[in-house]
Amino acid sequence: MTGLKKKATSIDVARLAGVSQSTVSRTFSTDRSKVAPETREKVLAAARELGYTPDVIARSLSTQRTNIVGIVMADITSPFYPYVLELFITELQEAGRQVLLFTAGPHQEVDDILSLVLQYRVDALIITSATLSSEMADECAREGTPVILFNRYVPGAAASAVSCDNAEGGRLVANLFLDADHVRPAYIAGVKNASTNIDREKGFTDRLRERGQRECLREQGAYTYESGYECARRLLQRADPPDAIFCANDIMALGAIDAARDLAVRVSKELSIIGFDDIPAAGWSAYSLTTIRQPVNQMVAATLEVLTEQVEHPEAKPVTKLAPGTLIPRTSARLPSYVESSSQENRAVIRTGNLG
């Protein structure tokens, strides 16, 4: 048997290219902009000749950083979150970081898998479509791993959060229904303990009460098409059915529209339906769903700004940022006359907020 070929090192590359070892390291790192183009090409040519590839694990031991960001996601089958995930992966890779994706099962808590996630020594964690306990957020802080919650928050926990202003979105829907003379509003709720659902419902029902609407029908859904369909059927088969339904997300709203059609209830004529998210299917002509659009691009950008700040400055305190949603008027709802008939351009201005 012949011996194994010795693996080329950065020292070998530096010697062949006639540069320092630190220049080789910078060429293969996120610091590559500090290497002159002609020098970088010499290093890459030497690396190709020697068959050299950088040892990421060895580099992480010396820098105490892996350049890996963990993303924890639960409801990955929802049409909203794969789009979010694609944006995160694209932006992180362009910044020279890699992504490890972890998913929690339907009946699995995020806390149950975070101990495994932390074993990979990720530089930071982004948690979305899942709920984290304050105890586990504090544990991550003690481990020195920044946690950023995307469209979620945990009051009082050592975790930053970037979220759509869900409560304000709920208030907007209440105003739209009342200003269009609807008299029997209803709410189809999402997952009970999700801050998105809690805030959307609170904003909606608080605003209804503020304006003198004491009764609001309610059904408990689960952020799924099937739950939206069944909840809407129950509401519409009542002796006093609603004339307007606010669904906690778009996929439930699509189910509600189909339930109304199956019961021969005319959507927008006899029943208004508004969702939340603005998933691609909301704009399909078969649904033409009026909805509150989440400013996903701005939220992802803000999340990555917070991540970079907390990785570079571990002493930085957690922050919370809110981004306003935008009404996207379509034909599934009768709206007040002051609402433009065409979609509005989303100009979200993210602000720092206090979510308690």
Q: Are residues 189 and 210 in the same domain?
A: yes
| Range in 106-110, 120-124, 145-149, 344-348 with the lowest mean pLDDT | 344-348
Confidence band of 182 (pLDDT split at 50, 70, 90): very high
271-328 pLDDT, tens digit per residue, is: 999 999 999 999 999 999 999 999 999 999 999 999 999 888 888 888 999 999 999 9
Residues 310 and 270 reside in one and the same domain = no
Sheet harboring 217-220: ordered strands across?
217-220, 185-189, 244-247, 272-277, 290-293, 326-328
Considering the domain architecture, whether residues 270 and 315 belong to the same structural domain is answered as no
Q: What per-residue confidence (pLDDT) applies to 227?
A: 97
Residue 2 falls within a domain, yes or no? no
Output the pLDDT for position 201.
97
Going by the DSSP 8-state scheme, the letter that residue 271 receives in this structure is: B
pLDDT at 32: 58
Indicate whether 316 and 331 sit together in one domain: no
- pLDDT, averaged across the chain: 85
Is 123 found in the same domain as 95?
Answer: yes
Beta strands in the chain (DSSP E): 68-73, 98-103, 124-128, 147-150, 160-164, 185-189, 217-220, 244-247, 272-277, 290-293, 320-323, 326-328, 351-352
pLDDT at 343 over 70: no
Q: Is residue 61 domain-resident?
A: no
Report yes or no on 289 lying in a domain: yes
**More reliable by pLDDT, 224 or 350:** 224
Task: Provide the residue range defining the domain that includes 311.
Answer: 68-164+296-323
pLDDT of residue 115: 74
Residue 256 has pLDDT above 50, yes or no: yes
112: part of which helix (H) or strand (E)?
helix 110-118
Number of compact structural domains in the chain? 3
Give me the sign of the Cα torsion angle 254, 203, 176, 328: negative
Q: Find the CATH number of the domain harbouring 183.
A: 3.40.50.2300
Least confident residue range of 75-89, 101-115, 290-304? 101-115
CA distance 178 to 183: 7
Quick one: pLDDT band at residue 348, thresholds 50, 70, 90?
very low
d(CA 293, CA 275): 9
User: CB of 130 within 8 A of CB of 72?
Assistant: yes
pLDDT band at 346 (very low <50, low <70, confident <90, very high): very low
- Domain membership flag for residue 4: no
Q: What is the CATH number of the domain that holds 30?
A: 1.10.260.40
pLDDT tens digits, one per residue of 208-240: 999 999 899 999 999 999 999 999 999 999 999
> Is the residue at 176 inside a domain?
yes
Same domain, 174 and 25: no
Q: Are residues 207 and 277 in the same domain?
A: yes
> Best-predicted range by mean pLDDT among 90-99, 148-157, 213-222, 315-324?
213-222
- Based on the fold, state whether residues 140 and 253 are members of the same structural domain: no
pLDDT at 61 over 60: no
Residue 148 included in any domain: yes
Let me know if residue 62 belongs to a domain: no
pLDDT at 202 over 70: yes
Answer whether 57's CB lies under 8 Å from 40's CB.
no
331 shares a domain with 261: yes
Residue 3 maps to a domain:
no
Segment 45-57 shows an average pLDDT of 76
Residues 273 and 319 grouped into a single domain: no
What pLDDT, on the 0 to 100 scale, is given for residue 103?
A: 82
- Judge contact between 176 and 203, C-beta under 8 A: no
Residues 119 and 229 placed together within one structural domain of the fold: no
Residues 206 and 338 placed together within one structural domain of the fold: yes
